[in-house]
């Protein structure tokens, strides 16, 4: 039996132990709250107050640009800039108690073998650096080392060697689609092309690592927090890089042959509006900007505007047929030089007497006078509205610095432009706009917005398709078929029929020749911008091809583009394995009545 005297101290002991236990439990609970439950909040507070923590920014890699088949056109790689500490070399090399595994004489040989430098020059450079500053801690070894070289140097275990990683942009196919792909500046900012167009997809998202260190420099357990970086997405283009390569080589050769300032080939898929090639010369290799003139660092395809000339006679024909003011039997009398009632004077490119031209005949002979008479059967405002329908005055894909072209309001049309607008003058377009207009003609009158980007694949694998292009029936299928038949007759009956023939395929084409502005409100004398637009096969159109030559001087007419067009169309049909025409051409249309 426990006495009252002993029960008192025991109760006090139990009470004291219980109190201590409660305090310990409270401390443990608080410790768990600080280091586990609310760790992130406390770390954030400590990083903001004083200098209790460290934050490292984690960078992701910029995304890749690839063609329709997954061939890489632009990617990011990590390279390394290597530096030496001359004073530390001297200190390590002079440590007799703990000599280095590789003395500097030997280490310099190993380093030079990896970096491709001369070891004697390296030693002399370090010595000169020390002579100039005995406490020097920096000597540039080499910039831009590969990961393989970095690993070799790292394995040497040299304490005086440091290597700083950085990201650089690589364009594996060089100038192939270089003008379209674009480039980055030295700060990694996109300056042109798809690099700029798709920056939102390509740009990485930075992460960060935050932590606290104790007085001994050791990271405090539980304080290390990492938000990983996300790499940029992969942009897939509609471009076929193999076709692009061929067309770039071809148009460069043709531009040189014709002694032209520049040239381009644009290829559009009829049923989708996808741009399969956008080749141009001069070309740009984004790996070596200095090898090109700064004026070639962009793309002329989307920025060079020109009067389309006779290629847009097809649009005048479509307007007339759609409005029902002409048919296959309608004719106008036209000679090669005529003065109109309002004082306007129109000339044809060749001298001829008065012909009773059909609409098809005026296209085959490319008679400006005849088209002026046919075209003005429709009022000016209606004609302008049709030009807008076919894309004049609007950008195609909102490419960086893309020009919309110029389409004057009708009230600004004077006595001359009232007529010249019927055959492709007094307004300007770009090559993609011209290709888009012919896409609508080839596609039964349905215009599909052009596209250059297929999709963006995010870092987590999510594929985000490009916005679906808009479709619009701008003329009837019947009208488009009639114009296609006329354009096929131009190919067969025109003066360039032999030059543009593609064996096995029915082809529809129209040439264009336009004067070049002199910058003073007039035109250069005897200098022209030539073009040819067309599609094939006529019986089931698959591809539109537009070829341009800027100021050719060997042949100054649109005939300058004939060989380039034939080669381009042949290669396009071959590249996509398009079946030859299975239906024969209809009977030839009459030129005169």
What's the pLDDT at 587? 96
Indicate the pairing of strand 53-58 with strand 207-212.
antiparallel
Question: Dihedral of the CA atoms 27, 28, 32, 33 (nearest 10)?
Answer: -30
| The pLDDT of residue 388 is above 50 | yes
What's the pLDDT at 228? 79
Helix ranges (H only) for 143-278 are 147-154, 178-181, 193-197, 199-202, 241-257
What's the pLDDT at 522? 87
pLDDT tens digit sequence for 102-147:
999 999 999 999 999 999 999 999 999 999 999 999 999 999 899 8
Q: Measuring CA to CA, how many Å separate 152 from each of 83, 147, 166?
A: 15, 9, 18
CA atoms 94, 96, 100, 103: torsion sign: positive
CA distance 439 to 480: 10
| The pLDDT of residue 57 is above 80 | no
pLDDT tens digit sequence for 83-105:
999 999 999 888 888 888 899 99
Mean pLDDT computed over 156-174: 91
Round the average pLDDT of the chain to a whole number and report it.
91
What's the pLDDT at 33? 61
pLDDT tens digit sequence for 245-269:
999 999 999 999 999 999 999 999 9
Phi, psi of 79 (to 5 degrees): -125, 170
CA 562, 568, 573 angle in degrees (round to 5)?
A: 125
pTM: 0.84
pLDDT tens digit sequence for 526-562:
999 999 999 999 999 999 999 999 999 999 988 999 9
What's the pLDDT at 210? 78
| The pLDDT of residue 483 is above 90 | yes
What's the pLDDT at 165? 84
Mean pLDDT computed over 22-32: 64
CB 236 within 8 A of CB 68: yes
Phi, psi of 145 (to 5 degrees): -75, 145
| The pLDDT of residue 42 is above 80 | no
pLDDT tier at 47, thresholds 50, 70, 90: very low
CB 546 within 8 A of CB 532: yes
């Amino acid at each position: 039996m426990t006495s009252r005297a002993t029960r008192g101290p025991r109760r006090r002991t139990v009470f004291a132990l219980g109190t201590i236990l409660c305090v310990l439990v409270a401390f443990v609970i608080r410790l768990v709250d600080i280091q586990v439950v609310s760790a992130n909040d406390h770390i954030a507070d400590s990083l903001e107050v004083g200098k209790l923590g460290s934050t490292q920014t984690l960078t992701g890699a910029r995304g890749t640009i690839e063609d329709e088949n997954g061939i890489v056109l632009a990617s990011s790689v990590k390279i390394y800039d290597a530096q030496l500490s001359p004073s530390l070399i001297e200190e390590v090399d002079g440590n007799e108690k703990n000599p280095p595994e590789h003395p500097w004489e030997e280490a310099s040989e190993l380093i030079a073998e990896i970096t491709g430098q001369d070891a004697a020059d390296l030693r002399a450079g370090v010595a000169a650096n020390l002579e100039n500053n005995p406490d020097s801690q920096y000597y540039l070894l080499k910039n831009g080392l590969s990961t393989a070289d970095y690993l070799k140097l790292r394995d040497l275990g040299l304490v005086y060697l440091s290597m700083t990683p950085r990201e650089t942009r690589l364009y594996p196919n060089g100038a192939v689609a270089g003008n379209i792909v674009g480039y980055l500046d030295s700060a990694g900012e996109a300056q042109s092309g798809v690099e700029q167009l798709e920056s939102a997809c390509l740009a990485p998202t930075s992460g960060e690592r935050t932590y606290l260190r104790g007085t001994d420099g050791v990271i405090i357990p539980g304080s290390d927090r990492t938000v990983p970086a996300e790499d940029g997405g992969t942009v897939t283009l509609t471009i076929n890089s193999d076709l692009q390569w061929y067309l770039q080589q071809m148009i460069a050769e043709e531009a040189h042959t014709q002694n032209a300032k520049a040239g381009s080939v644009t290829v559009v898929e009829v049923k989708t509006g996808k741009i399969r090639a956008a080749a141009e010369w001069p070309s740009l290799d984004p790996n070596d900007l200095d090898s090109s003139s700064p004026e070639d660092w962009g793309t002329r395809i989307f920025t060079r505007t020109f009067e389309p000339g006779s290629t847009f006679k097809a649009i005048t024909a479509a307007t007339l047929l759609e409005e029902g003011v002409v048919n296959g039997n309608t004719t106008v009398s036209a000679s090669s030089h005529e003065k109109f009632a309002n004082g306007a004077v129109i000339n044809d490119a060749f001298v001829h007497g008065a012909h009773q031209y059909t609409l098809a005949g005026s296209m085959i002979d490319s008679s400006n006078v005849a088209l002026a008479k046919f075209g003005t059967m429709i009022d000016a405002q209606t004609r302008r509205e049709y030009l807008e329908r076919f894309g004049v005055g609007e950008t195609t894909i909102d490419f960086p610095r893309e020009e919309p072209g110029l389409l004057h309001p009708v009230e600004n049309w004077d006595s001359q432009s009232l007529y010249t607008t019927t055959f492709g003058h007094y307004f300007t377009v770009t090559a993609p706009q011209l290709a888009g207009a012919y896409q609508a003609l080839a596609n039964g009158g349905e215009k599909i917005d052009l596209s250059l980007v297929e999709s963006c694949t995010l870092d987590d694998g999510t594929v985000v398709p490009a916005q679906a292009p808009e479709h619009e029936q701008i003329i009837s299928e019947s009208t488009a078929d009639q114009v296609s038949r006329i354009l096929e007759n131009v190919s067969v009956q025109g003066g360039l029929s032999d030059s543009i023939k593609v064996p096995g395929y029915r082809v529809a084409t129209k040439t264009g020749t336009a004067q070049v502005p002199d910058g003073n409100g007039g035109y250069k004398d005897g200098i022209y911008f030539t073009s040819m637009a067309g599609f094939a096969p006529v019986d089931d159109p698959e591809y539109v091809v537009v070829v341009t030559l800027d100021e050719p001087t060997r042949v100054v007419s649109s005939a300058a583009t004939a060989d380039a067009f034939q080669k381009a169309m042949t290669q396009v049909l071959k590249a996509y394995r398009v079946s030859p025409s299975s239906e024969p051409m209809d009977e030839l249309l009459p030129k005169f009545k």
